[in-house]
Amino acid sequence: MSAHSATCDWTSEKEVSTPSRFWNLVTSIRHELRIRRALRHVSTLDDAMLHDIGIGPGGVEDAVRCGRR
């Protein structure tokens, strides 16, 4: 196997086109909207429910954005 065949096409550097930048922006916005929706949902839980799932009242946003550690 040659060194060239061991590399992936997607790792080669390519110029990013405008539509790709646009879709990256759209994807980022959709991701942020999902996070905010989840934050609204989790913020409706009382302290006892948060404790049951292992999240403190101050760690809600971190848990939604990054997951529990």
Give, for 8, the enclosing helix (H) or strand (E): none
Q: What is the pTM of this model?
A: 0.62
Q: What is the dihedral of CA 8, 11, 15, 20, to 10 degrees?
A: 90
**pLDDT (tens digit, 9 = 90+) per residue, 27-69?**
999 999 999 999 999 989 999 999 998 888 888 899 898 886 6
Q: What is the pLDDT of residue 50?
A: 92
- Residue (of 20, 4, 21) closest to 12 by Cα position: 4
**Per-residue confidence (pLDDT) for residue 67, from 0 to 100:** 82
pLDDT score, position 40: 94
Nearest to 64 by CA among 45, 36, 25, 44: 36
